[in-house]
Amino acid sequence: MNSLPLPVTVLSGFFGAGKTSLLNHLLTNGEGVRIAAIVSDRGDAGQAEMSEGCERHVLADDLAVTIERLAAQGRFDAIVVESSGATDPIRVAEHLALAESEGEVAFPDIARLDTMVTVVDASSFLRDYANTGSLIERDSDHDADDDRTIVEVLVEQVEFCDVIVVNKVDLVSTEALARLKQVLQALNPRAVLFDARFADVPVSEVVNTERFDFDETASAAGWLMTLHDQLDTDPEAGQADVAHLVYRARRPFHPERLWALLNEEWPHVLRAKGFFWLATRNDIGGSLSQAGGVCRQDPAGIWWAAQDRSEWPTGDAELEAEIVADWHGDPDDMTVGDRRQELVLIGIDLDVYAWHDKFDACVLTDEEWALGPEGWKQFSDPFPSWDIEEHEHDHDHGDDCDCGHPMH
């Protein structure tokens, strides 16, 4: 059965979700598939008896190098990687997508990303999703410079995957399970969900499935599909209680009014993402990311309309077309240009009309708009200062980019 490139499955999931249990299940019930497992040296290797031809390897080198060496041995049919509980799966995918071979054969000819799997603990996910605590509170050995919260890690893992294993379903009621699956499908409508006890999932559903496609997986987040109008919002589709709002406007927000709104309770909102234009910061776009009880506002980049034309990209027809498509008004009028509000909200039992009105109330009135950029500088601005240099981007903004950069 061995043939190159070998399919690679990556297991993600928060601490205690059941990644190791799933890995052990795959190794002991391989259905004839010879699996090489790669585990973090911080992980629990377990004592499971493995099926013939399956092996477990502790990661002691670069992941791509380890995969290449195992694939070159010709003894395995698939590779399964168990990530740590705090791993952002898109970083693993990017690392492997850019990997270069140490030998004469190109890495894509040796191994291919096949399935991104996220394991969710049915008994604790919704509780953790409402948790505003930092990651280091749950994992004392974690890098102190990583300021992500628990809910932000959960969202990263759910939004970037092809398969979600809803584990420990025996520990929750039928109603609680239905609610959880509704939340998961709202966060990632593309992912296939499997209920499991003790992470017992058929090998064929997570190994060599050919479900992974970088662009599609990276664009699977519910907020991104909503923004691009790719989501089936028909109540008959099984998400009757899930509502979506895309708020767009071509006037800036008053900073005080937006700050007040962002610091209110946001009941029923599961996820909010996008970027915004503050009247007092006319040159810099703001990035908004909310999940559960955590809401961050950061600088996203400098609007094209705030930059000299000599700094605009040349030779990139696709990017130039995007700038034109995002431009408001006369091409030579820099008053608005690409500046805009573009925010997505996803929630259960969400009153989209009420939320639209709330954002409308934050937009400058006719009288405030008439003051112009110089007058707007006099508005009180409670937002923390933005250091744009700390948020410079070093990657390309493809169609699947979710960084919130306003020029994308």
Taking only the tens place, the pLDDT of each residue in 73-94 is 999 999 999 999 999 999 999 9
More confident residue, 135 or 379: 379
Residue 351 has pLDDT above 70, yes or no: yes
pLDDT above 70: percentage of residues in the chain: 87
As given in the structure block, the two tokens for residue 186 are 């709202």
Please, which pLDDT band fits residue 13 given cuts at 50, 70 and 90?
A: very high
Per DSSP, which regions of 78-138 are E strands?
78-82, 111-121
Residue 403 has pLDDT above 90, yes or no: no
Checking if the pLDDT of 233 tops 80, the result is no
- Please report, for residues 94, 127, 293, 344, 345, the alpha-carbon distance to residue 272 in angstroms, rounded to integers and kept in the order given: 24, 19, 11, 5, 4
Question: What is the rounded average pLDDT of the residues 236-248?
Answer: 79
Question: pLDDT tens digits, residue range 151-205?
Answer: 999 999 999 999 999 999 999 999 999 999 999 999 999 999 999 999 999 999 9
Task: Check: CB of residue 113 under 8 Å from CB of residue 96.
Answer: yes
Please give the full DSSP string across 128-180, using - where no structure is assigned: HHT---BHHHH-TTS-TT---BHHHHHHHHHHS-SEEEEE-GGGS-HHHHHHH
Of the candidate ranges 161-170, 245-254, 327-336, 391-400, the one whose mean pLDDT is the lowest: 391-400
Distance CA 206, CA 115 (A): 6
pLDDT at 239: 62
Q: What H or E segment, with its residue span, contains residue 67?
A: helix 63-72
| Residue located via tokens 């092809």 | 162
- The pLDDT value recorded for residue 406 is 54
Residue pLDDT, tens place only, 130-163? 999 998 877 766 777 888 999 999 999 999 999 9
Domains and CATH numbers, the chain: 6-220 (3.40.50.300), 235-391 (3.30.1220.10)
**Rounded to an integer, what distance in angstroms lies between the CA atom of residue 292 and that of residue 282?**
29
Q: Taking the CA atoms of 26, 29, 33 and 34 in sequence, report the sign of the dihedral they define.
A: positive
Residue 230 neighbours by CB distance under 10 Å: 12
Helix H or strand E segment including 353: helix 352-362
CB contact at 8 A, 259 and 369: no
In the predicted structure, residue 45 carries a pLDDT above the cut 50: no
Residue 392 has pLDDT above 70, yes or no: no
Per-residue pLDDT tens over the stretch 263-291: 999 989 999 999 999 999 999 999 999 99
- The rounded distance, in Å, linking the Cα atoms of 386 and 107 is 40
Are 111 and 159 a contacting pair, CB within 8 Å?
Answer: no
Average pLDDT (333-339) is 91
Give the pLDDT confidence score for residue 99 in this predicted structure: 83
pTM of the entire predicted model: 0.89
Contact 4, 103 (CB under 8 A): no
- What are the backbone angles phi and psi of residue 80, rounded to the nearest 5°? -120, 125
Local structure of residue 305 (DSSP, 8 states): G
Instruction: For residue 262, give the amino acid letter.
Output: L
% of the chain residues with pLDDT over 90: 67
| DSSP, residue by residue, 198-238 | TT---GGGTSS-----HHHHHT-SHHHHHHTT-----GGGS
Q: How many CA atoms lie within 13 A of 188 on its CB side?
A: 26
What mean pLDDT is reported for the chain? 88
